[in-house]
Amino acid sequence: MKVLVYSSKDFEIPYLGKANNKSHQLTFIKDALSSETAMKAVGFEAISIFSADEACFITIEKLKDFGVKYIALRSVGYDNVNLRAASRLGIKVANVPSYSPFAIAEHTVALLLALNRKLIESNLRVNRNNFNLNNLVGFDLNKKTIGIIGTGRIGAVMSKIMYGFGCTLLGYDIEENNNLKEDYNLRYTSLKELCEQADVISLHVPLNAETHQLINEDLISDMKDGVIIINTARGSVINTEHVIDGLKNGKIGALGIDVFENEKGIFFKDNSQDIPSDELLIILNAFPNVLITGHHAFLTDEALTNIAETTIFNLNCWDSGNETVNELTKDTVMV
């Protein structure tokens, strides 16, 4: 099968090549998928896209006209794909439902520790031969209350890690995980109660209509003064303007994010020679108690291996005329 791989990154190409093992004819391009770049898929039966690619209704229609039958996502999230349009036009779509919850959860903890213990500022001082310890005071995580919003695969690993630190765990999800309650003493609460009691709030929910800008001024007002918020889920799960207000008035003590609601067109590329244009990102970067990483929580050897293998597995299934268990379009309601 001829496959065009959009938004290909240098770090992932070897993994995809190894997993493919010459099964398919892969062509890698740097361009992200959009209505403008869809024409590059002419002559390809399948495409593979990343989380920053845009497969809207217009793009899907163009892909259909160009002969594309399959879209293999290299991500868990699929909010960037119009599944109804794909189903209606007969294009099959599959994702990578799980690659390494450990990668995301461990990165979440890294952000938390770096913020709490002021590691970035400490290192900057040492680089200038300044060993003064003023204003570097953090707190023990032991016995602190951690609020975990979203207790799926990643949230479950986060719970395990925080339990190991001796934390009290609060959880919020539409479906409770009894194993977390039994193994780590996690207590499920309302979202309001979680915000009122948690010293640290960690977000691990998918982006959908219910979670879009879930963290807003109303919920922030319920939070403890000085709360730490960590978001390694999706950028639009938080209302960035409201969070900035919380940082300014001290309600939010620190913010760690690996995702940003306006990251499209900014993340995954070197913009070091350009003048920043996103005002919210500029403001966030100006806070000493904000730590931002460029959507690389997934970036581990294990995760990249799993992503590549599952992507190729999905393509193999389609190529052999079979369904893949990871298909997203088979149960999509067409309107």
Phi, psi of 322 (to 5 degrees): -110, 160
Active-site residue flag, 296: no
In degrees, to the nearest 5, what angle opens at C-alpha 277 toward C-alphas 272 and 279?
A: 120
Residue 104 carries which side chain, given as an amino acid letter?
Answer: I
Active-site residue identified among 12, 45, 54, 263: 263
Rounded Cα–Cα distance for residues 28 and 7 (Å): 8
Residue 263 among the catalytic residues: yes
Choose, from 295, 296, 302, 309, the residue flagged as catalytic: 295
Q: Is 234 a catalytic residue?
A: yes
Tokens 């390494």 belong to which residue?
100
Q: For residue 83, which amino acid is it?
A: L
Choosing from 74, 107, 234, 242, the catalytic residue is 234
Q: Please give the distance of CA 282 from its chain centroid, rounded to a whole number.
A: 21
As given in the structure block, the two tokens for residue 317 are: 């299934």
Q: Count of residues for the chain?
A: 335
Give dist(CA 63, CA 34) in Å, integer. Answer: 10
* Runs of H (alpha helix) within 22-99: 57-65, 83-88
Residue 223, class by beta-carbon neighbours within 10 Å (0-12 exposed, 13-18 middle, 19+ buried)? buried
A 10 A CB-CB count for 42 gives 13
- Residue in 284, 227, 279 with CA at minimum distance from that of residue 252: 227
Beta strands in the chain (DSSP E): 2-5, 25-28, 46-49, 70-73, 92-94, 145-149, 168-172, 187-188, 200-203, 227-231, 252-257, 290-292
Residues designated as active site: 234, 263, 295
